[in-house]
Structure 1
């Protein structure tokens, strides 16, 4: 068959979970809406708290604020459309809107990975090179590093989207996923260049994930070795506690992805609905859970929250009197 570079598809249809019975559309949309509210409330709270409290104007919390912004944007990019798909049966997404969603989905995912790298670097220097930490890690250096991660990735991802747009789309217009991503879209493309476009995108995706992951593993392994050389148990616990939030956040992002990729590599396959659920879970779970980790696993944030709660409690007692 001869393909011309002509796209006949004008819009796409978001199928979500293909095997889901219409009876469950209401509960699923309500669950997704609740998840979106949790993501909004948690990450906006973190951004406001870090912005208002001068005590939190430190490099570590600046990284947390960038992660919170990333999680907030990711939830906003992905969830409203799939919620409306199950709430109002609004499953059509226009061609340009689908590519725009794909752009932000992959850009925000790559930015998240780079922010985790910066976070690991912060902890690596704090534990392994403590005397150099005040010089190397400042609010300015962290702001520049995070800013470059955003700008560089957003620019790079334009090339990925434009590359996908060179393909003609003349096959089915069903996106078998809860949102538009590169794999789901290019699966619907025609022509001889489809494999090449997919290979280039996969290579960039693996680079964006595996390079930060390699350094993250190296940094936490180095931290572990340093901790093991600390003579007293209290010193070990104190050092580990400063890295626990970052380690939990990194695990929450990478472990489910690695599980899915490795399962496919060894030939263990999931049903289509289960696979879509796992992708949605590892995409959205960090967005919802990260604010809880920030608040309850970091000393400064816990102290600030306790101070706020004590003031609120005193205020309520005064009003009741």
Structure 2
């Protein structure tokens, strides 16, 4: 059945922050545009380096590559419309496009969750089975795992989209959110929402808690292995390698779990605060992922330094002052 036969709504209106004064619209739009540019530039740098540097064609960097694509595509799916909402005050989105956006929002969110799980598995094998790592973690196996993640990530979002699309939407067309997601859309349906919200919540918990449980197990085993290292310097080096990933995982999973649980438990905080939390866990990880996974990686830093030196001959070896301006 088509949407025309099942709804009085032809398009939706993305409201964003309902309590935000119009005088702050330009500031919010500029801030979100800056975030989007940082995401594109930071992840684009890794993408460019991976393309031109054959030495980066290793299993660990293949995993990061999938995370880069997921971050870029998720941000491109959502941020331009939010920016347009505040910059040109054009929050209108067609009925069908809203459901397309909803699918990709949940798809790339699920994909990131699975990729972080694969990354934890990679670190677990690298630290707990270092002698067998090169035999266990091959390019073909990582490619297979990542391909499986891309396929599995589409299942739940596709089911939710197919179930929500034919519903009757005859109420308010305002989406109190910064993008179309399942909760904000189905809350406008003229039907018993529990039939759709409960399965969606269950799907979300599977996608979140499944990889998170595996990540907790992996890093728990890593911590035990690190504590057995006799050298204090070796323990510190291993912890410094894993700690940035734990920061990203905490930023990604914990606010999401809190947001989903708060919808089913009585928490008294405003809609604006809830949307701010959603924006935080949606866009801060994609923005700082390049810093965590790339600029803290000695191999990538050396490659990037060489590329900068090629473009800027006046820079000197590894003692280069990062504040030096290319002329």
Using structure 1 for the length normalisation, give the TM-score. 0.92
- Check conservation: 1:74, 1:104, Cα contact below 8 A: yes
1:173 aligns to what? 173
2:302 aligns to what? 303
- Check conservation: 1:169, 1:190, Cα contact below 8 A: yes
1:59 aligns to what? 59
Separation of aligned partners in 2, 1:292 and 1:235 = 23
- Check conservation: 1:294, 1:301, Cα contact below 8 A: no
**Does residue 128 of structure 1 match 2:124?**
no
2:245 aligns to what? 246
Would the alpha carbon gap of residues 151 and 266 (structure 1) be closer, same or farther in structure 2, given more than 3 Å must change?
Answer: closer
2:322 aligns to what? none
Return 308-317 or 280-289, whichever deviates more: 308-317
Q: 1:15-164 counterparts in 2 under 5 A?
A: 15-164=15-164
- Check conservation: 2:208, 2:257, Cα contact below 8 A: no
Separation of aligned partners in 1, 2:297 and 2:262 = 34
- Check conservation: 2:9, 2:170, Cα contact below 8 A: yes
2:219 aligns to what? 220
Q: CA RMSD in A?
A: 2.0
Give the aligned length.
314
Compute the displacement of 1:32 (Å): 1.0
Would the alpha carbon gap of residues 256 and 154 (structure 1) be closer, same or farther in structure 2, given more than 3 Å must change?
Answer: same
Query: SS of the residue aligned with 1:314?
Result: coil
- Check conservation: 2:64, 2:293, Cα contact below 8 A: yes
1:198 aligns to what? 197
- Check conservation: 2:309, 2:315, Cα contact below 8 A: no
**Deviation by residue 1:263-310 (Cα, 9 ceiling, x = unmatched):** 667744211111111111111111111111123221211221222233
- Check conservation: 2:114, 2:153, Cα contact below 8 A: no
Query: SS of the residue aligned with 1:178?
Result: coil
Query: SS of the residue aligned with 2:313?
Result: helix
Separation of aligned partners in 1, 2:310 and 2:240 = 27
Compute the displacement of 1:237 (Å): 2.0
- Check conservation: 2:19, 2:272, Cα contact below 8 A: yes
**Deviation by residue 1:16-63 (Cα, 9 ceiling, x = unmatched):** 111111111111111111111111111111111122112211111111
- Check conservation: 2:167, 2:189, Cα contact below 8 A: yes
Separation of aligned partners in 2, 1:248 and 1:136 = 26
Separation of aligned partners in 2, 1:99 and 1:108 = 14
**Deviation by residue 1:209-249 (Cα, 9 ceiling, x = unmatched):** 00100010111011000100111112212322332342232
Compute the displacement of 1:119 (Å): 0.2
2:236 aligns to what? 237
Separation of aligned partners in 2, 1:94 and 1:263 = 29
Gaps of 5+ in 2: 317-325
Would the alpha carbon gap of residues 242 and 16 (structure 1) be closer, same or farther in structure 2, given more than 3 Å must change?
Answer: same
**Deviation by residue 1:104-138 (Cα, 9 ceiling, x = unmatched):** 00000000000000000001111112222112111
